A and B are shown apart, each in its own frame.
Chain A
Amino acid sequence: MRIKDKISLALLVIAITSCSNSRPGSRIDKMVRAYARKPEDSLKLEAALFLKEQLNQQCSERSFFYNEETGKTVAVNLDTVNGDTGLLDLLLNRKLSVHHERLPDREIMSDTLLATHIDAYGFYIKTWPWNRKADKQTLLNYLLAYKVYDEEPQGWRTYFFREEQDFLKKVLASYRLNLGRYDKNPMTIASQLMSMAGNWYTYDDASTGGMAFEMMKCQRKGDCYLGAHIGVYVLRSFGIPAALDYVPIWGSKNGGHVEVAALDSNGKISAIPGHELAHAAKVFRMSFIPVNLWRDSIKPLMGRDTFLLSNVVHDHSLDVTAVHTNAADIEVILPEKTDKKIAYICVYNYGKWQPVYWGRIADSNRACFRQMGKDVLYYAALPDKDGFRLTGSPFLLDTSGRKIMFIPDKKKATGMTLSKLNTGSGSWVKKGRSYVLYCMNSTGSWQRLSDLACIRDSILTVENMPSKGLYRLVEKGGKGQLERPFGYHANKQIWW
């Protein structure tokens, strides 16, 4: 081949490869330069600059299939797999396993996906009046954001935008033509979209954990965590800023929950009606932009102790308790001075106390916990190597924000009619079963008060118990996890 031809061939190769989308994130700088040249692309420029910054500081969990025998990576088109049974068949038949690895977003974000998010951002801001009320940070963090937390960025925006197109056109037609068919409040639209999101997947109690969108699309089944991801995707695809808000532990009942919050008519991210996380000890919001609270403010205070709040450690959680429920600050005077710099505040969950939040310790014995949900039982604790040590006594933060201690009054005995073990619908006491009634003593331990045999469904009577206590009714022979603490007032069990 002549040199001239070789040069031509080399140029051709350069031309082809420089146009390829195979080098993820390679064009963001060029996009920024190009958008900067055109004033009409100012929104795109804003989006591109933001994404450039985030690509450089964010990582995602990428899953891939590999053959267990050869160890080689295998490409699987999940669009051709029919649900979780189809997936299981595929794994078994082709001897495949799933492997996860954590990769920088700049290595996995394709240019097409970047362009989609940037173009969509411009469309949303120009099209929907509600976005003009939101501040820039909200729009970038909850509308442009290409993922909720660390799931692999995939094509959810395009997918749901297509699914929503008919609805989008109807809303837009109503707005543009002043037909009054749809409320201008984005919350009203968000509520309708949440119903659609709920229809898209089938609720299943079994926890699915985090997964990328292609896998969600394949399974279309999961718990509230998956449901909230779908909700966020559906709302953001439509053009409504949306966030995933979660309760790691309720405190007022066992377990936790995940929900979706959306932009309200005042330009703030608020609870969607019917999707509030009321009566929670703590509610967090998943911020796309790292908040770095752990890295900058907590880690330096921990010394040799392990910080136990994993949802704070990942540095994407914002405290939004007051958005969902009545909250107040709690100050706890520790019984002894300590050299620890932080304390935990615990709630009762599945039969034990578990840390739900943290607070700084001032003056070696004064722990302050910000914005804790009211009408919840709490118990302070101190870090202790890889665990924690409860300290002081449990208390109720009542609806007025006061701390109420439980001091059982043995002199003033009371009778009680008990009916349930917790707030759940299947928790009624049952005829023929035996129970133990406990009361919390001044050291924070459950003290056995009485053994009880139930002779009538849903009713268990007990006499001469100390009044004003914090009680717990536990079924004998059970795991002792589901039973919740309660008080007794006006002949009723009051649940906490």
Chain B
Amino acid sequence: MFKYFPILMAGIIFMEFTACSSPAVPFSNSFNKDSLSLLVSDSALMDALVEDAYEKILPPLYYNASSTDDRTDNIYFDGPNPVVIEKFDSTYTSEWDQMDKIRQCDEVERVIGKNSSIGAASRVYWKAELLFLKSMVYYYLAQRFGGLIIDSSATTGNCFYPEQKRSSLSETYSYIITSLQRCTVQLPDVAATGRASKTAALAMLMRVALQAAAYVPENRGRYLDVLQRSAVAILGNGKYVLDTSYSNLFNDFDKGLNSREIVLGVFKRRFNTTFQNTLMQDLVVNQSNEKMRPGYGPPLADRFDGSSKRYPSQNLVDAYLVIDDDHQARRWNETSQYRLYRQGLAYASAVLYNNRDKRFYASIVYDSSHYFNSLILTRDSGNLCTSGRKDGNLISPTGYYVRKSLYENRKLWYLDGSDHHLPVLRLGEVYLNYAEALLLSGKAKEAILLMNVTRTIHGGLPPIDTNIPLSLAWDIYKNERRVEMFFENDRYWSLLRWAKFSAQTSIPELEKPIDAINISANGKTFNIAVIERSGNRERRFSTQRFLLPLPQQVANTNK
């Protein structure tokens, strides 16, 4: 036994001196040498600069822009809304002046160009991302104001002056399309959440090409061809699929983040975002039991501290179809249930809101529905009806609130942090853009097959018969696009585009006053009437809206 003692001692001493004796052995912490050298490498820092460019460009231009629905018959906006009454004044200065974003992209590109330690693949990738972002800025401007000075950052310092240097709209769109086509080659197939991929470039290309096809008719065929080839590329690779739950796309951050439908989105993290910096601030009502007018109810289970300004119109609600007893989709006032309804005898909410398109429930808060933890009534004497506050401040004039893009799992308080997201490009739009291109080419049957995808999967509606005439297919398509893309910065541009395609000089949807629903206190009678509030009857449209005039003060400054 003793003969083994020296071996044992030697072993113990060896173990004591070798086992984990060096702290150089990496611990599982974020501060070990390897993690840190990756974190602060030139490559990581360049990537951070590119990421920063996304944050400077996408939220203001494509996240906040969901409010372009304010200009349409989708939303009643309770506040100054000069576009709808065509008061073109200094309001547009903020939309016009986007040069800081172009300059930021250029600066990052220069920094990347100077740094020789970065590999060629990363360099190409980042440059493509910056080009993609610049294209997003240029499209934002061209969509509103028309032709641009494309090389503005190198020459004039702005995109519009001197006017003689402005490219034509055709040249501008061609430039943007060519840039995005380059991106489709240089961007990676798959990108991190919130960053551009090949598919994002293709989807954006489709959006731009469709708008360009309307505004530059001489190139329509070419643009529609670009669009269709892009659509085939996206749908052919199968990387993206439609979410079976429409509400998951918009009403839950984590589900949005993991969605296989969202191609590119703005994902704001709670660490950097307060409620007041999200779209939710202007959607959530300001009402509580303490603020409620006596006799109104029922009592709320929540205290709502938002500052709602945007309310879905009755016009929009009408667009969400109802599945009738014969399993056909109809407008609510064409259903068998409605034909049997007699005012004063039965609850209106059933005939108004039962069996609707699933997107209705994901998008709209209505009388007798749940909102956060409360049962809400928008009818007369209801807890969220227009005159429901005892201080006299009016709340929803339409009888509805926006649910789409609202997270109802946490109370909104403007200073509290919150995640939020909004898809910028998603597969649903890809299907619809493709369908529109096919309708423009007279291919109704193929178009219907595509619009049936969003209609059945997101809407839960029966598919449309593929044998209907083209004109009817167009009508159904426009309605489908309206409900699918509500509050996603789409309808205003679609209405302008459709008017351009059909050479209309008026757009009734932009001129007609917005309607509200009024339901009696007992919930058994209702009527639909124009909202009698400032500006609603002054809505107008003239052809100068197709491309907005530059703000006069900007023009004066640059003379």
Contact = CB atoms under 8 A, between A and B. Distances in A.
Interface of A: 3-4, 7, 10-11, 14-15, 18-19, 27, 30-31, 33-35, 41, 44, 111-112, 115-116, 118-120, 122-123, 127, 157-158, 161-170, 172-173, 176-177, 179, 196, 198-203
B40 A199 contact: no
B471 interface: no
A201 B270 CA distance: 9
Interface stretch (B27-35, B493-501, B504-512, B546-554): B27-35
18 contacts: A7-B7, A15-B19, A27-B20, A27-B23, A33-B21, A34-B24, A116-B31, A119-B27, A120-B29, A120-B31, A162-B30, A165-B39, A169-B40, A170-B52, A172-B45, A198-B274, A199-B271, A199-B273
A112 B15 contact: no
A162 B30 CA distance: 8
A200 B274 CA distance: 10
Contacts of B33: 119
Given A199-B274, A200-B271, 4 more contacts: A10-B8, A112-B29, A115-B29, A169-B45
A378 B27 CA distance: 54
B465 interface: no
B302 interface: no
B44 interface: yes
A18 B36 contact: no
Given A7-B7, A163-B271, A199-B274, A116 B45 contact: no
A199 B29 contact: no
Interface in B27-60: 27-33, 36, 39-40, 44-49, 51-52
A112 B28 contact: yes
A173 B45 contact: yes
B22 interface: yes
Given A169-B48, A196-B271, A203-B416, A19 B19 contact: yes
Given A11-B11, A31-B23, A35-B23, A119 B49 contact: no
A34 B22 contact: yes
A150 B419 CA distance: 32
B272 A196 contact: yes
A123 B27 contact: no
Interface string B82-94: 0000000000000
A170 B48 contact: yes
A30 B22 CA distance: 8
A6 to B, nearest CB: 9
Nearest to B41: A169
Given A123-B36, A179-B111, A202 B413 contact: yes
Contacts of A33: 21
Nearest to A6: B4
Contacts of A179: 49, 107, 111
A34 B1 CA distance: 36
Classify chain B's interface size: 35 or more
A189 to B, nearest CB: 14
A3 B107 CA distance: 72
Interface in B250-295: 270-274
A58 to B, nearest CB: 21
Contacts of B107: 179
Given A18-B20, A30-B20, A34-B22, A199 B32 contact: no
A172 B40 contact: yes
A116 B29 contact: yes
Of the listed residues B23, B45, B49, the one surrounded by the most CB atoms of chain A closer than 10 A to its CB is B23
Interface of B: 1, 4, 7-8, 11-12, 15-16, 19-24, 27-33, 36, 39-40, 44-49, 51-52, 107, 111, 270-274, 413, 415-418
Contacts of B46: 173
In order of increasing CB-CB distance, the 4 nearest A-B pairs are: A199-B417, A169-B48, A119-B31, A173-B45
Nearest to A161: B30
Nearest to A48: B23
B271 A4 contact: no
A30 B17 CA distance: 9
A169 B40 CA distance: 7
A200 B270 contact: yes
Given A116-B29, A158-B30, A173-B46, A15 B273 contact: no
Contacts of A198: 274, 415, 417
A199 B33 CA distance: 30
B29 A158 contact: yes
B86 to A, nearest CB: 39
B29 A119 contact: yes
Nearest to B7: A7
A117 to B, nearest CB: 8
Contacts of A158: 29-31
Nearest to B270: A199
Contacts of B418: 199
B485 to A, nearest CB: 30
B198 to A, nearest CB: 24
A11 B44 CA distance: 44
A82 B40 CA distance: 34
A123 B51 CA distance: 23
Contact of A116 (B27, B39, B52): B27
Nearest to B51: A166
A111 B21 CA distance: 12
Contacts of A163: 271
Contacts of A196: 271-272
Given A10-B8, A27-B20, A169-B44, A119 B111 contact: no
Nearest to A26: B20
Contacts of A116: 27, 29-31
A167 B45 CA distance: 10
Contacts of B19: 14-15, 18-19
Contacts of B413: 202
Contact of A112 (B22, B27, B39, B415): B27
A172 B24 CA distance: 25
Contacts of B49: 170, 173, 179
A7 B1 CA distance: 11
Nearest to A83: B410
A122 B4 CA distance: 45
Contacts of B20: 18-19, 27, 30
